[in-house]
Structure 1
Amino acid sequence: MSRTLNFIFVWLLTCLASQSCSDKQEVMVNQVPMNWQYDIPAAKYWESLPIGTGRFGAMIPGATDLEVIPFNDETLWTGGPYNPNNPEGPKTLKKIREHAFARNWVDATKESWKLASIPQSVQYYQPMGRLNLSMAGHELAKVNGYSRSLNMDSALVKIDYQIDGVKYSREIFASYPDQVIVIRLTADKKEQINLSSWFTSLQPSATTRIANNEVIMEGSTIFEKKGEDILPPQMKWQSKVKIIPEGGTLSADGNKLVLANADAVTLILAGATNWVSWNDISADEKKRCDDYLSNVSKLSYNELLKRHLDDYCPLFAACRIDLGPDSDPLMTTTQSMQAIREGSIDPAYEARYFQYGRYLMLAGARENTLAFNNHNMWLNDLDGRWRGRWTLNINIQECYWPVESTHLPRINESLLLFVENLAEAGKRTAKELYGCRGWCAHHGTDVWFNTAPTDGDPLHATYPIAGMWLMQQLYEHYRYNPNVDYLQRIYPLLKGAAEFCLDFLVKDPVTGYMVTCPASSPENSFIDDKGNNVSISLGSSGDIQIARNLLRNYIEAAEILNTDTELSNQSATILEQLPPHQIGGFGQLQEWIYDFKESEVTHRHMSHLWAAYPDDDITFRKTPELAEAVKVVLQRRGDINMGWSGAWKINQHARLEEADEAYSILHKMLTDISIHPNAEDSQITPSFEGNQAIQGITAGIAEMLMQSHSSEISLLPALPKQWKNGAVAGFRARDGFDIDLAWDNGTLTKAIIKANYDKPCRIRTKTPIKVFSAGKEMNVTSLDENLIKFDAKAGEKYLITVK
């Protein structure tokens, strides 16, 4: 075992030991090693292994002779601050509503095009550079015993191989506390490290130079693209790599640094931009980059590694899962994927897939960074999928679904910072485009926080309630940890969203309901009574469900904080005037205010099921008839769409406690490539670009094992037969409860519930249970079959066993 691996092994044992307790009531979780492992280098970009600091990321291919590492900064975009709002917005809004009130959906749709952003689309997310590492004589044909792996437990990429009896090792990690990427090359014999290092970039403006054993590159972004609206570049960036050799000689050769006959070498990669916020680019990117390097350049590799592990490991280890043992620990990840495609069941792979969603969140979003980008901060071209935008009509929200339940609450800070910027920009859009108070956002945005309708077509562009949906996710953080200080912090955002909601809602003269108008059901369309395919109506079901949730949350927050009584009362009045849920002619939950004929029955979006998940306004116990209508929608939509759509369906089925249906989709998605295929997608590694769903699947697995909506904790609500035995530790439930649980032969055996607040605790199980506190059985209240209640005290742990 290498010195570094031994160091990590000892560190992880210490980390896990610190989380354990001598109390014999603890749930033991035999989690398999969280590794993706391969026996060949990556042949294309998305076969590489992702690492990230939350802001600064790289993809590691693992080549032996010429390693090309693309790296990115989440804030590097084309253009600069701009106002995207059409000044004719209020006049256009009036015309749209006139058409909609007259049930002229064709002209309402046509008029909605005029609300479009200026320019029509968001700016482009951009790659920063590529670090090139040349190891002459290390051609793959000469290599024996090649392996590359991503250890999710430590967030460490490792590459090993042998040439002519010498073992070469490479270790790479991205440090959140130091905001740099660290690369370590070693050999088991002296003077064997020979390396050339240089930068390249896809940015035409990039220039490079050598200074102080550092390669330095800086530039701006592209400023033109055929047929596209790209604003003049205002972004500036710089990247540096510092080379710290152990032995050998280091010299410059043009814009390269050449290392000869070293025993080992550490490279430290940094990058920065001048972005500060949605309307501020006043930062000094050179000073930022200098600071990143100067802060760490005197630290040893092991010191850098320890700082990384001290930060990362407790966060990742906070939630552990055991769905079953490795059937063959020697299989590569690619071999496991192929076996699954051929019908094998691999619970260990499923556990790793669950944890991959958590790993990616930690790599792509942290405190003081922007939100996780559903199209990823990892990018190796000038286009990006959908320009690399944040998509706000399901995708970014789905990325955050597992954050609370799987014990990553600190990542909520990234979404909060993102929404704070979005709301500032969105105030301008609410006022200038709609004449409303508060703030709003539509379906896609960039780093300049374009909150106008982007991409033109109202089918997707006209979605002014995206900000309201984001507030639901931020409010969920309060639900899981009911801390009044946090509620106070998000209250201005919540109030602004509620003000926009109240001003944007309008009374429909035909039905008398308060409705959104214009309204779409994201990216879907319907057939009007004249056979026209149209997308704009009023009061679409998804809009109303989100508005209902927002106003309820706002009323609750205002009451808790004892503020804004008038606005709260207004919200309560409007809440009673929203359209109810409706059931259509097929028995389905209706998608629009009328039971329109669907243009595409199997459409990937299911926004009208929002009330069933992520909200809990519809459940099969509270509203059984509506829950049946949700089932009909799922049946009619089918399972043909995977990706983020399939992940949403897993969560929907889990809420309905349909274990077989949830698992059926899950198993298909374990090796799914993309809902939107691309030539660069990987078939040999778990997809996280084209799939856009891993976090949603992580949330779905958690939802199958534990739910906490509707003021009760449900243990093993949708446990599939494929997970016969298992355990989890570190789940979180709403109202501030921590949950560990274990099961055997498909039946709950034990659970530990820790209360962080004085709260009533309601527990639902499939079999009768007993509750113990401090070794003594408690008297509990039976509320329903296998539903009990007791009063929990902050700081206390409660043991649940089967009667």
Structure 2
Amino acid sequence: MNDAVGRAGDDATGLDETGLDETGLDGSEGDARPGGLELRLDAPARTWTDAFPVGNGRVGAMVFGGTSSERVQVNDDTCWSGAPVAHPIAPLAGPGGPASELAAARGALADGDVRAAEGHVARLQSGYTQANQPLVDLLLTQRSAGEPREYRRTLDLADARATSVWTAADGAACRQDVLVSHPDGVLLLDRRTDGSTGDVDVALTSPHPWLRPPAALRTAAPADAPGAATPDAAAVPAGVAVLTALVRMPARVLPDYLNDAHAVSYDGPGVLAAVAVAVVPDGPAGASADDGTVHVAGASRVRVVLATATDHVVGDAHLHGDADRVVAEAVAVLTSALADLDGVPDRHVTDHRALMGRVDLGLAATPPDAPLDARLVAHARGAADPHLAVLAFQLGRYLTVAGSRPGTLPLHLQGVWNPHVTPPWNANYTININTEMNYWPTLVGDLAECHEPLLAWLDRLAAAGERTARELYGARGWVAHHNSDPWCFTGPVGAGRDSASWSTWPFGGVWLARHVVDHHDWTGDDDALRRHWPVVRGAALFLLDWLVPQPDGSLGTAPSTSPENQYLLPDGSVASVGTSTTSDLAMARDLLGHVRRLAPAAGEDEALVAAVDAALDRLPAERVAPDGRLAEWSTDVPDAEPEHRHQSHLYGVFPGTSIDPDQAPDLAAAARRTLDARGPDSTGWSLAWRLALRARLRDPGGVTDLVHAFLHPVDADLAAAVTTGGTDADGAAPRHVGGVYRSLLCAHPPFQIDGNLGFTAGVAEALVQAHRVDADGVREVHLLPALPDAWPDGHVRGLRLRGGLRLAELVWRDGRVTRAVLSAARPAVVVVRAGADAPGTRLDLPAATPVRVTP
């Protein structure tokens, strides 16, 4: 890359105030419109993971796309089991309390008695988180539909609309659109035909017992009449039927892995949730309600509008308990939308595009005219289809917009889409990787608004974790462990029997606090940094108290685990507790370094900075093990599971920023050997993490392999189609643990949304990196650091970078940058590199003025 640069109005002509052309980068419309961002399947969903997700941050729904029988499974993000409660701290601890158990565990580790140490930390466990809950299923039955022909359903990521089209048995053309509007707060199902829909029934079912079963809204009823609703029905237009219903979430749900026959209990306080549904036909007969079902006859169009409300107040995580108020709130949202129902779709699309349309990725290949399932099979068999990666990249951004909006709860393991009363791992906040991964693509994907739910929840979590830090460990600041929920559970999970490999990990707050740091690094928002600084400061205070002197004078951690991984003791038995795991020290060094760096902007006091400096000077760095891998444990012990899904000891590579081939070449090489040893297969979310790691290590071949592995289909019929007639080098059918379902939703398996979101972040890392800053404060922008050979031509527009930078435009041909445009929110000096080993070009970026870099 040379020094030829230009500014907007110079040789960057054609750029508007955003630095973007009206058309695509090569003069075409690119992949953003129309049809370029559609997920397509040619049959209705047979399973939940076949369905397409829609949402507005609070309400999420899975659309099955049935013709004669349609199911839309609906969630409200405030529907969880349980209620705010002060969990007992270490109820199993011995007479000396938690302090004696912690001291005994440390003493046992010093004596080399790992088993005794594990016994002591088991007595620090504090119960379980609560579980995310489904709300209702919206069911539509069209009895005269018959067998459809020419069926197709799509999810338009650009417009956030799930559409099914088909030809009915009588030849009528039929179409159904489903969306969930953020501006209006409602789900809208719109079914149309150029003939007659025939008889249509609309009903609600719920996996929970009804407190008030679905009943028609009415203005007067005996006070003791079941199902009586108090809101005024006068706001409901003539010919429209409205149902209201009320359910209560369970008081307790135990994790599914306990296999407890009494895992679900409604005995106790729980969230109250209301649903209001309006059915709006276009026929003269209107809609009528009977016994909780709405009937429509002879209409050519039927619109179903659904609103929800609960007594779960997100801002301070309490339940107000007023059932009538909850029903009234749902009806109020519903009737407000009915007042201008025709305008709901346009308002929805405008709102969604304002976020989704900020980033455009194209890989210069015409996608096959085939449904996703066929494309996934062909791709797994070796057919080139770069556009699948485009869809998966944008799906991660779409799910962020659909699942995380200001004022909502943050995305949990399944986002805001969960059909199970006892979901996998309680569909909770698993904070030893998964919750963090959920928000990796948010800032780079120019969706900073969608980061707010996580930051707001962290404020509440930190406040709750102060008690746990104080009473469990005698420490300042705050602590959280492996799992949490909206009620801000912060203790070690378990009842004395859960594995220490996940339970004994007090670094949830340390890792999560990095999101406050990242938000500032991307946005430069000093006000937001100061507002959320207690999260960072409290995590640092806990760290300073948690670190203990080691015999060599360094600081370390004890007891210590490497999340969910285990090693072998000399007798061949499995263990997980030790001292000073690499992940502990890497996360500690990372957070304390950020505290020192950001202290002036945050207004931090000198005393804390001095304590942080002293601790940083005594923290060991990562080391290379004798076998050439990056060491995971403080001693060289055998792995219990060499291909383990977690790779937390590579934190310094990603999401940390301290290890890359330039800054720490020996450690980077060791990290690469570690990934090689982990093998080619893993869970879906782990493949996404490894993709980001390979990109940060500038390994295009590794990126290629992981994109291919992530996009491997896991549905049984598709996996069988891939392996038919094919074997691996050993003559056995290829083994793929994780990948994607036919809908492109990530499979752990089961479904977890973190893999979809992590994939987006990993692709962004392969295209551009801006994590390095030299001693003079000059940031390096590295273009195409790990571009896969399978993507020789392409473009990306709109990615956000650290330092308030924006990659307004990047075009490449034959793997080489042909056009790049950068802009900065405030004046900045950067060094731009292109390709793996190219020298850098120093650029001055004025504020809000696009600058073209000419290779």
TM-score by shorter chain over 0.5: yes
The Cα shift of 1:222 comes to 3.3
User: Is residue 220 from structure 1 mapped to residue 273 from structure 2 by the alignment?
Assistant: no
Look up the SS of the partner of 1:234 in the other structure: coil
Matched-pair contact (CA < 8 Å) for 2:49–2:751: no
User: Is residue 561 from structure 1 mapped to residue 602 from structure 2 by the alignment?
Assistant: yes
Deviations 1:478-529 (A, max 9, x none): 1111121121112111111111111122223x23322222211001111234
Amino acid at match of 1:721: D
Match of 2:139 among 132, 141, 148: 132
User: Is residue 721 from structure 1 mapped to residue 789 from structure 2 by the alignment?
Assistant: yes
After the TM superposition, which of the residue ranges 487-496 and 226-235 deviates more from structure 2?
226-235
Look up the SS of the partner of 1:261 in the other structure: coil
User: 1:489 matched to which residue of 2?
Assistant: 531
The Cα shift of 1:715 comes to 0.3
Change (3 A) 1:732 1:338: same
User: 1:308 matched to which residue of 2?
Assistant: 348
Amino acid at match of 1:94: A
Amino acid at match of 1:388: A
Which aligned pairs between 1:83-102 and structure 2 lie closer than 5 A? 83-84=86-87, 85-86=89-90, 88-102=97-111
User: Is residue 350 from structure 1 mapped to residue 374 from structure 2 by the alignment?
Assistant: no
User: 1:580 matched to which residue of 2?
Assistant: 621
User: Is residue 162 from structure 1 mapped to residue 167 from structure 2 by the alignment?
Assistant: yes
User: 2:256 matched to which residue of 1?
Assistant: none
The Cα shift of 1:589 comes to 1.1
Q: What is the distance in 2 between the residues matched to 1:323 and 1:196?
A: 45
User: Is residue 451 from structure 1 mapped to residue 493 from structure 2 by the alignment?
Assistant: no
User: Is residue 30 from structure 1 mapped to residue 30 from structure 2 by the alignment?
Assistant: yes
User: 1:6 matched to which residue of 2?
Assistant: none
Look up the SS of the partner of 2:413 in the other structure: coil
Q: What is the distance in 1 between the residues matched to 2:393 and 2:24?
A: 25
Which aligned pairs between 1:182-197 and structure 2 lie closer than 5 A? 182-189=188-195, 191-192=196-197, 194-197=199-202
Q: What is the distance in 2 between the residues matched to 1:24 and 1:127?
A: 42
User: Is residue 110 from structure 1 mapped to residue 119 from structure 2 by the alignment?
Assistant: yes
User: Is residue 181 from structure 1 mapped to residue 187 from structure 2 by the alignment?
Assistant: yes
Change (3 A) 1:498 1:129: same
Normalised by the length of structure 1, the TM-score is 0.91
User: 1:122 matched to which residue of 2?
Assistant: 129
Match of 1:393 among 432, 441, 445: 432
User: 2:309 matched to which residue of 1?
Assistant: 272
The Cα shift of 1:196 comes to 0.9
Matched-pair contact (CA < 8 Å) for 1:374–1:396: yes
Q: What is the distance in 2 between the residues matched to 1:20 and 1:178?
A: 32
User: 1:413 matched to which residue of 2?
Assistant: 452
The Cα shift of 1:257 comes to 1.1
The Cα shift of 1:462 comes to 1.2
Matched-pair contact (CA < 8 Å) for 1:705–1:716: yes
Matched-pair contact (CA < 8 Å) for 1:115–1:453: yes
User: 2:230 matched to which residue of 1?
Assistant: none
Change (3 A) 1:543 1:111: same
Segments of structure 1 that go 5 or more residues without pairing to the other structure are: 1-15, 768-783
Matched-pair contact (CA < 8 Å) for 1:159–1:171: yes
Amino acid at match of 2:360: R
After the TM superposition, which of the residue ranges 662-671 and 88-97 deviates more from structure 2?
88-97
Q: What is the distance in 2 between the residues matched to 1:269 and 1:92?
A: 52
Deviations 1:130-167 (A, max 9, x none): 1111111113x2x1221111000100111111221221
User: Is residue 786 from structure 1 mapped to residue 839 from structure 2 by the alignment?
Assistant: yes
Q: What is the distance in 1 between the residues matched to 2:102 and 2:709?
A: 44
Q: What is the distance in 2 between the residues matched to 1:23 and 1:797?
A: 15
Supply the RMSD in Å over aligned alpha carbons: 2.5
Matched-pair contact (CA < 8 Å) for 1:106–1:532: no
- Structure 1 vs Structure 2: percent identity of aligned residues? 29
Segments of structure 2 that go 5 or more residues without pairing to the other structure are: 1-14, 92-96, 218-232, 234-240, 253-259, 717-734, 774-779
Match of 1:471 among 507, 513, 516: 513
Change (3 A) 1:640 1:240: same
Q: What is the distance in 1 between the residues matched to 2:356 and 2:22?
A: 23
Deviations 1:161-182 (A, max 9, x none): 1221221211110111222111
Match of 1:603 among 644, 650, 653: 644
Change (3 A) 1:709 1:639: same
Match of 1:54 among 53, 57, 62: 57
Look up the SS of the partner of 2:623 in the other structure: coil
Which aligned pairs between 1:479-518 and structure 2 lie closer than 5 A? 479-508=521-550, 510-518=551-559
Q: What is the distance in 2 between the residues matched to 1:726 and 1:25?
A: 11
User: 2:468 matched to which residue of 1?
Assistant: 429
User: 2:728 matched to which residue of 1?
Assistant: none
Deviations 1:59-92 (A, max 9, x none): 1001111112111112212221222322532332
Match of 1:702 among 764, 769, 777: 764
Matched-pair contact (CA < 8 Å) for 2:142–2:197: no
Q: What is the distance in 2 between the residues matched to 1:504 and 1:682?
A: 40
Matched-pair contact (CA < 8 Å) for 1:76–1:273: yes
Change (3 A) 1:785 1:204: closer
User: Is residue 799 from structure 1 mapped to residue 852 from structure 2 by the alignment?
Assistant: yes
Deviations 1:697-740 (A, max 9, x none): 11111111111111211001111111111100011111111112
The Cα shift of 1:576 comes to 1.1
Change (3 A) 1:437 1:27: farther
After the TM superposition, which of the residue ranges 291-300 and 228-237 deviates more from structure 2?
228-237
User: 2:413 matched to which residue of 1?
Assistant: 374
Change (3 A) 1:229 1:270: closer
Amino acid at match of 1:237: A
The Cα shift of 1:102 comes to 2.4
Normalised by the length of structure 2, the TM-score is 0.85
User: Is residue 334 from structure 1 mapped to residue 373 from structure 2 by the alignment?
Assistant: yes
Q: What is the distance in 2 between the residues matched to 1:741 and 1:458?
A: 46
Deviations 1:589-612 (A, max 9, x none): 111122222211111111100001
Matched-pair contact (CA < 8 Å) for 2:414–2:751: no
The Cα shift of 1:273 comes to 1.6
Deviations 1:372-428 (A, max 9, x none): 112332122211111111111111111211111121111111211221221122122
User: 2:727 matched to which residue of 1?
Assistant: none
Count of matched residue pairs: 762
Which aligned pairs between 1:354-365 and structure 2 lie closer than 5 A? 354-365=393-404
